[in-house]
């Protein structure tokens, strides 16, 4: 009897061991299967569902580390650059919205975050020591109260080389420390800021627009570089992602996003139907219409507004580049940088578009997406005090075009 009991116990132990072995083998099989398909599934998932944002403490630690570095000087030695006050994790195949602003114009970030669903990178210029301090306090407050900022926004800071930005002192937090929500931060900024034209800084410091643009698009594959007071059409990021993911034929192509400007009193149009209706009654017009019509005329606005409505974003027609066309575009691959010798106002974007052309990029206008600038740009109000710098940049542009001949000796294209 005792022997029979021992045999039964041994049998059950053996059966239990066998069941555990089968379970382990099943887990191993599932793990191997997951390993084979996991990367593809992860890419599909994160395409439209980005990773969870980092914690507030992690973001604040990154801010302190970036500021404690003391920054680095740019090539000219005139500006101090702080990279990565805020950072974002980005799919290498994603499309980043790259922009730049003076501290006061950071107000526009709120609208960009609402319209652009993907990653966003902004380079901020602080012309004075006080503005540099305000910029760091703003980065601290925005990272604390705005989940979208933590999840999707990279922020860099540039100031004159004689200034250094500092970590906000927790013993003197100021009024921003009393804020409890993202909306409160932007409301507070609206009260203390004096938004206007980036170039009209009221100082003798030139606004380094091309340095800021390069910094904002640094490390990105595909990027759409815009001014901070512009708004993209609804769903533009998602449409670009779907289009770019379908094919690898976009190498060497600049996908032009038509740009418009709207009267300030008007609500920003969401889609092409709304935009065209406003365009037909004169409430929306081509970008730079009152300042430099040839700068955007090659986009061929009359052709674009009459294209048949489509559900998918795609290139609609090709346009040969001609001077002085300076379109806003999405491009990947070996995109020439913006020449940082151009500062303030004049020829800073035209020069880069010119080099794209000489480098062999083809320009294709997209069918549905668009950008809208907040307000009409009027000639009489536009940087009258900067005419001298405009003339300097005009001379530099002539020199720049000659330099391109040496840089691309075998190119059949010239500006």
Give the tens place of pLDDT for each residue, 332-344.
889 999 999 999 8
pLDDT at 143: 86
Q: What is the pLDDT of residue 359?
A: 97
Can you give the pLDDT at residue 43?
40
Q: Higher model confidence: residue 48 or residue 394? A: 394
Q: What band does 20 get if pLDDT is binned at 50, 70 and 90?
A: low
% of the chain beyond a pLDDT of 70: 80
| Beta-carbon contacts of residue 184 (< 8 Å; ≥ 6 apart) | 145
Kindly report which listed range (187-191, 233-237, 356-360) carries the lowest average pLDDT score: 187-191
Which tens digit of pLDDT belongs to each residue from 393-405? 999 999 999 999 9
Q: Can you tell me the mean pLDDT for 363-381?
A: 89
pLDDT at 231 over 70: yes
Give the model's confidence band at 11: pLDDT under 50 very low, under 70 low, under 90 confident, else very high: low
Q: How far apart are CA 342 and CA 22, in angstroms?
A: 69
pLDDT for the residue numbered 360: 96
Write down the pLDDT at residue 333.
85
Cα(201)–Cα(210) distance, rounded to whole angstroms?
16
Strands (E) located in 173-281: 222-225, 230-232, 253-256, 259-262
Q: What is the dihedral of CA 136, 176, 188, 143, to 10 degrees?
A: 50
In this structure, the strands spanning 329-331 and 222-225 are antiparallel
10 Å CB burial of residue 95 (0-12, 13-18, 19+) is buried
Could you read off the pLDDT of 255-294 as tens digits, one per residue? 999 999 999 767 899 999 999 999 999 999 999 999 899 9
Q: How far apart are CA 252 and CA 59, in angstroms?
A: 36
Hey, what's the torsion of the CAs at 189, 157, 237, 318, to 10 degrees?
Answer: 120
Confidence category of residue 121, pLDDT binned at 50, 70, 90? very high
- Quick one: pLDDT band at residue 23, thresholds 50, 70, 90? low
Q: Parallel, antiparallel, or unpaired: how do β-strands 79-86 and 153-160 relate? A: antiparallel
Residue 227 has pLDDT above 80, yes or no: yes
Please determine, for residue 30, whether its predicted confidence score (pLDDT) is greater than 70: no
What is the pLDDT, as a whole number, of residue 103?
Answer: 92
């Amino acid at each position: 009897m005792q022997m029979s009991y021992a045999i039964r116990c041994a049998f059950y132990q053996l059966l239990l061991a066998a069941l555990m072995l089968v379970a382990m083998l099943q887990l191993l099989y599932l793990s191997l299967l997951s390993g084979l398909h996991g990367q593809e599934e992860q890419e599909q998932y994160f395409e439209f569902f980005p990773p969870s944002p980092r914690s507030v403490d992690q973001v604040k630690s990154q801010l302190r580390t970036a500021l404690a570095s003391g920054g680095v000087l740019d090539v000219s030695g005139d500006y101090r650059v702080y990279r990565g006050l805020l950072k974002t994790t980005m799919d290498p195949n994603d499309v980043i919205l790259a922009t730049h602003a003076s501290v006061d114009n950071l107000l526009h970030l709120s609208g960009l975050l609402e319209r652009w669903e993907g990653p966003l990178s902004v380079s901020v210029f602080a012309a004075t020591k006080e503005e540099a301090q305000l910029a760091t306090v703003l980065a601290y407050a925005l990272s604390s109260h705005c989940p979208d900022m933590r999840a999707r926004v990279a922020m860099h800071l540039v100031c004159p080389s004689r200034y250094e930005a500092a970590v906000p002192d927790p013993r003197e937090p100021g009024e921003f420390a009393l804020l409890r929500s993202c909306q409160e931060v932007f409301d507070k900024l609206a009260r203390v800021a004096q938004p206007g034209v980036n170039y009209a800084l009221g100082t003798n410091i030139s606004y380094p627009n091309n340095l800021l643009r390069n910094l904002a698009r640094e490390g990105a594959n595909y990027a759409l570089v815009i001014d901070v007071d512009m708004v993209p059409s609804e769903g533009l990021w998602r449409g670009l992602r779907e289009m770019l993911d379908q094919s690898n034929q976009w190498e060497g192509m600049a996908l032009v996003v038509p740009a418009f400007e709207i009267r300030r009193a008007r609500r920003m149009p969401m889609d092409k139907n709304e935009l065209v209706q406003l365009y037909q009654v004169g409430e929306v017009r081509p970008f730079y219409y009152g300042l430099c019509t040839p700068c955007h005329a090659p986009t061929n606005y009359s052709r674009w507004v009459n294209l048949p409505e489509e559900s998918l974003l795609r290139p609609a027609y090709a346009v040969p580049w001609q001077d002085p066309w300076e379109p806003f575009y999405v491009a990947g691959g070996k995109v020439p940088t913006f020449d940082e010798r151009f500062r303030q106002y004049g020829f800073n974007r035209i020069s880069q578009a010119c080099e794209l052309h000489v480098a062999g990029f083809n320009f294709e206008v997209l069918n549905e997406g668009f950008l809208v600038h907040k307000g009409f740009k009027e000639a009489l109000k536009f940087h009258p005090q900067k005419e001298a710098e405009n003339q300097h940049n005009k001379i530099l542009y002539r020199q720049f075009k000659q330099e391109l001949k040496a840089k691309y000796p075998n190119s059949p294209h010239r500006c």
